Chains A and B, each alone.
Chain A
Amino acid sequence: MKSLDELRQLREKAQETIRLREQAGGIRIIVGMGTCGIAAGAREVMLAIVDELQKKNLDDVIVTQTGCAGLCEKEPLVEVLRPGEPKITYGYMTADKARAMITSHVVNGQIIGEYVVAKEDDVAE
């Protein structure tokens, strides 16, 4: 049973994480959550990402969501923004692919080419 005490303990850890984030300018992951994304499994992908980040102690990575990006047939879509690098959009994502993407791209900086459906030329701030 989850308790309020446990939540209050997380509070301090979370505040520390937020401080670290502000210094480091962390990685952002954005999951497409339009009707097309949801029907294709975006909810499971989103929660797999959150779960994997937690398991790997990557609390400094920020996960957010967006609506339909117009690539409905390639959903679920996941965008990864690493500071100073072009935005990478992965398509046809699953929970397992998302976990592999965290290990390879987020942790080690290695893009998984076969999952990529779009690459932005502009460099993320």
Chain B
Amino acid sequence: MRELALHILDIIQNSLRAGAKLIEVEIVEDTRLDTLMVLIRDDGSGMDEVLLERVIDPFTTTRTTRKVGLGIPLMKMAAESAAGDFTIDSRLGEGTVVKATFVHSHIDRMPLGNMADTISTVIAGNPTVDLVYRHRINDDVSGLDTRLLKAEVGEEALTVPSVIEWVKIYLKEGSSYLMEV
């Protein structure tokens, strides 16, 4: 994968498979501290300590269609190649938090890529799940809270292509009026 946004999309799929009803995605870029932080928090089924220890291993997966799970190891590798860090915290029955940090200016730090596409893909494919997306670059914040979006158009409207197109452009423009800052 060539973009952090694709790794983020992949980690969100884990949250969805864990039955999450609310997923929070936070990106913080601080050019003064030269850091980039990505955090994905969900309220899904979570993992016990045994699975949590094994989950970094590519030969661990909960799926039955194939025997390897590469999502988490790939993102860990992306962070570690950019002098960063990768952690997962999880509690069974409560949810999971995945956090990756990067040295912003590191030559091997993957570009963030297209977060508007990642977030609108998740919304289009999973209209019943709530998603809070926040992207901070120094003092500027943009993002979207699908609960506010649903308050405007209704949940079912998130399955309508013209509404998803609106959301995609809203995100591309870096707006923030559909979120709580």
Q: A residues bordering B, Cβ < 8 Å?
A: 1-2, 4, 6-8, 10-11, 13-15, 17-18, 31, 33-35, 38-39, 43-44, 46-47, 50-51, 53-54, 58-59, 61-65, 67-70, 72
Nearest 3 A/B pairs, CB to CB: A65-B125, A70-B65, A14-B157
Task: Give the interface centre of A1, A10, A50, A61 by most chain B CB atoms within 10 Å.
Answer: A50
Decide: A47 and B168 in contact? CB cutoff 8 A: yes
Size of the B side of the interface (Cβ < 8 Å), in residues, is 40
Say if the beta carbon of B121 comes within 8 Å of chain A. Answer: yes
Extra inter-chain contacts (4) besides given A47-B124, A53-B161, A70-B65, CB under 8 Å:
A58-B161, A65-B121, A65-B126, A69-B65
What is the predominant secondary structure among interface residues of chain B facing chain A?
A: helix
Proximity bits, B162-176, A CB within 8 Å = 1, else 0: 111110111001010
* Total of A-B residue pairs, C-beta within 8 Å: 117
Decide: B66 and A70 in contact? CB cutoff 8 A: yes
Decide: A4 and B152 in contact? CB cutoff 8 A: yes
- B177 / chain A contacts, CB cutoff of 8 Å: 4
Decide: A11 and B157 in contact? CB cutoff 8 A: yes
- From the candidates A2, A38, A72, name the one contacting B175 in the complex (CB within 8 A): A2
> In the complex, which residues 94-126 of chain B have their Cβ closer than 8 Å to any Cβ of chain A?
117-118, 120-121, 124-126
Decide: A39 and B66 in contact? CB cutoff 8 A: no
Inter-chain CA distance A70–B6, complex, in Å, is 20
Q: Determine how close the nearest CB of chain A comes to the CB of B1; give it in whole angstroms.
A: 5
Inter-chain CA distance A54–B162, complex, in Å, is 5
Inter-chain CA distance A120–B121, complex, in Å, is 26
Say if the beta carbon of B10 comes within 8 Å of chain A. Answer: yes
Q: B residues bordering A, Cβ < 8 Å?
A: 1, 6, 9-10, 13, 17, 63, 65-66, 69-71, 74, 117-118, 120-121, 124-126, 149, 152-154, 156-157, 159-166, 168-170, 173, 175, 177
In the complex, what residue of chain A is closest to B7 when comparing beta carbons? A38
Decide: A64 and B125 in contact? CB cutoff 8 A: yes
